[in-house]
A and B are shown apart, each in its own frame.
Chain A
């Protein structure tokens, strides 16, 4: 949050409509994402009740567990779900791209595409994680055998959950989070967690304004919650009697449960696709394809090593946890920097913080040479007039927001102006390549935040985990106990 987003929220209140806080789309959006709307049984950690899912708005699949306390029915649900998810994964691979061989000469490939999962909210992400946790250790033979697809589903869902933590990853997205990255509403974060209310502000139905649409969205009878928690009144008045009837083998009991759950899921299904349409209408940010490429790399690796891998451990061993944390921090840094380069509205945050500044070039010496060293160097200088509250020390390295290759450093600050010396990105000769140096009258923006400014972390390999961190860890091999774990 910042004053900029807060101001956008105030403007949303004043206009009755959500206000943009991004001018481009900062996430990848697949041609055919797998939209998943899960519901779970109240009071249970991860007992699936139903899920509506599919890759086309007109063609949802509805999976239902008519009696979630029945273990066999639960695993039947997991097996059905696994088929849809695994099919989606295989269908989303695209072709295989050959990459130049790696440093030690090993062959490298990358799938041209990757699967994308979309859920309504953070609760949906958490639920998929738990579903992954409760299915990945299952055995496909022996006393508690389950369908072979079930543990595979568990490993994939766990993997998607881990990727979700990775800043800038688009493999598993929560719709409310993605929308909030692009729009600010006139309500608080609590209310924004309600997908219907959030969309009400962004794209109210005909004849309604944001507040009216959001108020309507808070009535669970008109807008059932987007899950995974159900509306308690629905549970008590509709679902419980329907399940009791099922228990007593009443005729058509299962159909009735399906119909009831469908009525709870269908509105959210519609909302999900409305969200997809809104996001699709935004132009894609320039660095989105590069981040999706990292996602594809991760996907390719996991997919290709799936056969020889084990289910992910219950808890990360220490070195892996530390490395992961470091990776996430790095990814966060570079994600934020990239977003700012892609989007002037995000760059505005950096300008507000004094880490970047924008303005007009008032003086420029494009062919200035620095001749103090052995050889002369091209060091053009320019004065930029700015009203921004620049908080950069002389000597700070900056680069151009429009063309990050253009580098320079701050020479001095004056009242409402900055003197810059350009140091790179102008060609190799002693006169700048045409068009590289801004001219008097040009609008420019320079930032001190550069993408990928972090070094590579050095962590001991797994075999060399210090004893203080538990010594070397073994691969996690699931035990009989894992496989037999209750799921009640």
Chain B
């Protein structure tokens, strides 16, 4: 084991690394500037458990109605060897899809290890690459190295080979109404699909084929309008791929962050947990609330130390990057002399304070 791997294991407190899925991997790209998250993710620390232990549980609960609806939609699309899906690709997108075979790589029963399943996916994909024949592979098991650790991905997607190229088909249950879906949800789907595309590309290159045998265009299958009928659209995930690759490369440089941390730091449960977490610098922003399990803890911390970032990135920008609310207010009321680099910000704040005062006094 390398030093880094050892250090990361110590950080986990001996617990096995947490499994990543596309959602958690995609979330890695959300706040790349945060060292705390970088370290925890690289070590595979169960952030959800840590947040709960600290008394700040994340609120990422899902309603069973949403789960049921999602499952029902997926089952419908995949029924009879993906009959409906194929019709959709042929009719809606005008693809000449020849006869295809359908292979579900999910294990029914059996207690097959992940390595074994991964090997099977690999073997089948290798054969498909050679023959170039149209095949739908459901539930492929993929692998992606996260900070030197292999993370297995069990995507709820189908890898589909058409004309010698693989496409990722992702089935989502949010509706596309009159050709439009909620931008947030499409963006999230694109980020996740990019993870699958990347993992599939890694696999394909390992098998000696060029990476572009996996297309950057993803088929997104969603319910149409208010019905249960599927509709398909093409999603270009190149931008998301670029961000993801950059962020994964960053994670492998986690050793640089580790160097700055105490040698005995660990996120194992216990009295010292909160201090251990605090020892790694965070960069809280309100966006964390929707992407990171640690958000409630970090928000509390950011608020307690009067960080302007807790109010939002735009506020921090308006304040010329001043990090502390106390400092900003002191600059605004003139009780603090600005350092030369803050002179402009301070002048702006004093002006804003005067204008607010004038307007409010005038109104009173």
Contacts and interface: CB of A to CB of B under 8 A. Distances in A.
Interface in A349-371: 351-352, 358
A380 interface: no
A142 to B, nearest CB: 19
Contacts of B174: 45
Contacts of B66: 42-43, 232
B24 to A, nearest CB: 19
Contacts of B325: 10, 13-14
A10 B314 contact: no
B75 interface: no
B230 to A, nearest CB: 12
A233 B223 CA distance: 25
Contacts of A230: 63
B177 A315 contact: no
B229 interface: yes
Given A6-B311, A133-B177, A42 B63 contact: yes
Contact of A43 (B63, B328, B332, B354): B63
B310 A188 contact: yes
Interface string B71-115: 000000000000000000000000000000000000000000000
Contact of A41 (B65, B177, B348, B360): B65
A43 B68 contact: yes
B359 A347 contact: yes
Contacts of A2: 318, 352
A187 B284 CA distance: 13
Contacts of A233: 61
Size class of the B contact interface (CB-based, 8 Å): 35 or more
A232 B319 contact: no
A485 B68 CA distance: 22
B315 interface: yes
B240 to A, nearest CB: 22
A250 interface: no
Interface residues of A, number: 56
B175 interface: yes
B91 to A, nearest CB: 16
Contacts of A45: 174-175, 177, 223, 225-226
Interface in A2-19: 2-11, 13-14
Nearest to A240: B64
Contacts of A344: 358-359, 362-363
A436 interface: no
B311 A187 contact: yes
Contacts of A189: 286, 312
B178 interface: yes
A23 interface: yes
B2 interface: no
A133 B173 CA distance: 19
Given A43-B70, A191-B286, A235-B63, A4 B352 contact: yes
Nearest to A347: B359
B329 A20 contact: no
Nearest to B314: A1
Nearest to B62: A232
Contacts of B61: 232-233, 236
Contacts of A1: 314-315, 318
A46 interface: yes
Contacts of A10: 308, 311, 319, 325, 328-329, 332
Interface string B142-153: 000000000000
Contacts of B363: 23, 344-345
Chain A CB within 10 A, most for which of B62, B63, B310, B349: B63
A186 B311 CA distance: 7
Interface string B305-326: 0101011101100110000010
Interface of B: 61-70, 173-175, 177-179, 223, 225-229, 286-287, 289-290, 303, 306, 308, 310-312, 314-315, 318-319, 325, 328-329, 332, 348-349, 351-356, 358-360, 362-363
Nearest 4 A/B pairs, CB to CB = A43-B66, A45-B175, A486-B227, A42-B63
Given A236-B63, A488-B228, 12 more contacts: A6-B311, A6-B315, A44-B65, A45-B223, A134-B225, A188-B286, A188-B311, A190-B289, A191-B286, A236-B61, A344-B362, A348-B352
Interface of A: 1-11, 13-14, 20, 23, 41-47, 130, 133-134, 186-191, 211, 230, 232-233, 235-236, 239-240, 314-315, 343-345, 347-348, 351-352, 358, 387-389, 485-488
